[in-house]
A and B are shown apart, each in its own frame.
Chain A
Amino acid sequence: MMNNPTGRITQGQFSFLPDLTDDEIRMQVEYGLRKGYAWSVEYTDDPHPRNTYWEMYGMPMFDLQDAAGVLMEMNACRKTFPKHYIRLMAFDSTRGVETIAMSFIVNRPAREPGFVLERQEIEGRSMRYSIRGYGAQQPEGERYGA
């Protein structure tokens, strides 16, 4: 298992740690809100490393004061997509940043088969590489036993 040593996808913050509990997530969200970030929820069942833009679950949440609203949305998303990857993202609208300041996975499927490394031999014995998720072989919505 060269490309999936932990059996888990490691993208975003905290991904080498055990899954955050809801209370830990709440504290992270509070931290972001105090910094003035706007949180949003995204989900996907194609966690390819180059799949940057996941599907948005609702609108980004501006002007929030408390983490409870974000957690409410997150739990609604977990209920709708229990076997998808779900992440929380914090957008910093400060001039000069205007990009994602925080991002971490809050939901993942029980079994994560990881990726296959495909080698393609081209002219002159050069190699081309690409990776493809085992899960992505099924059509969208049927991956990870969903």
Chain B
Amino acid sequence: MNAPLYRIPGPSTEAATPAESGATQAEAAPAPRTVAQVLASSQVESVMDELDAELIGLKPVKTRIRDIAALLVIDRLRALHQLAAQAPSLHMCFTGNPGTGKTTVALRMAQILHKLGYVRRPQVVSVTRDDLVGQYIGHTAPKTKEVLKKAMGGVLFIDEAYYLYRPENERDYGQEAIEILLQVMENQRDDLVVILAGYRDRMNTFFQSNPGMNSRIAHHIEFPDYAPDELLEISGRMLSAAHYRFGEGAREAFAAYLERRIRQPHFANARSVRNALDRARLRQASRLFADRHRELSADDLSTIAPADILASRVFASVQPAS
């Protein structure tokens, strides 16, 4: 650029210009050459630590996020050597049993990807079939597009994605929504990350009938069931988040409860834990309620006693494993 022919009056302009250019040169000079240098200048490390600290179990998920973060760091180093590459496809599919944390992780993914610099905004638009598929001809496309436009720049999370496709009804409009979705997933990879979630077997059927969708999703992540000790740890966190705690012997009682509950049908991992704790809170409340004239301390009010858990109907109906 040519230097301007005019000059802005005032003493500061002359002095500021060389100093400024000097500063930019100094900043640009130590270009990061090692992974450690890139890590120091980005939030990648804090994201990983946070993830490890706040999510229990979920090894496959953490590994995948780690890989994605590593790619980002390496891409920065590659950029120094003019080794340009296309932005990676980040569309994901989360499969797993109920209560394994698919939704929780998806809602978090936007923050993670934002901190890593892959999406422009830390926002998640969470939708289900109802938000995408219309009720009559010509209704679906505008509806789907509106959702897509709202989600642009962030993450679009489609819960129970297999409902989009209903093979038993050939005039179902779900197919139309899938086609629009595919088009945007392919053409506007920089603008939108799509995350699908659903139960494993149903998602497999969904992908079998929509091979295009399957191939456009780079990351198929399987959410494993939680181990009993992981569930116990989760329960402790849930309680402390609600300012409760296990009283003496209550943790052991809850472990015994979990051991029985896991073998019952319709066990939904962390969701079942949450429900069990909610019921224990109800029992604790009515236990304290019965004692009308007692002065209750903060400790009394926040302690879950073993009796609150042992009163569960699971103990009556299921025998302990031998």
Contacts and interface: CB of A to CB of B under 8 A. Distances in A.
Contact of B121 (A63, A65, A70): A65
Contact of B188 (A59, A65, A72, A73): A72
A68 interface: yes
A113 interface: no
A18 interface: no
A61 B142 contact: no
Interface string A9-27: 0000000000000000000
B120 interface: yes
Interface SS, B side: loop
Contacts, number: 44
A101 B145 CA distance: 25
A58 B153 CA distance: 21
A49 interface: no
A58 B141 CA distance: 11
Contact of A65 (B145, B148, B150): B150
Contacts of B152: 64-69, 72
B59 to A, nearest CB: 32
B142 A66 contact: no
Contacts of A69: 148-150, 152-153
B198 interface: no
Given A65-B123, A66-B120, A66-B191, A72 B149 contact: yes
B57 interface: no
A59 B142 CA distance: 9
B154 interface: yes
A65 B154 contact: yes
B146 A70 contact: no
B192 interface: yes
Interface in B135-149: 142, 145-146, 148-149
A66 B150 CA distance: 8
Nearest to B119: A66
Nearest to B191: A68
Contacts of A66: 120-121, 152-154, 191
A130 to B, nearest CB: 39
A66 B193 CA distance: 13
A72 B185 CA distance: 13
Given A59-B142, A61-B146, 12 more contacts: A58-B145, A64-B150, A64-B152, A65-B153, A65-B154, A66-B120, A67-B152, A67-B153, A68-B153, A69-B153, A72-B184, A73-B149
Interface of A: 58-59, 61, 63-70, 72-73
Going nearest first, the 3 A-B pairs with the smallest beta carbon separation are A66-B153, A69-B149, A68-B152
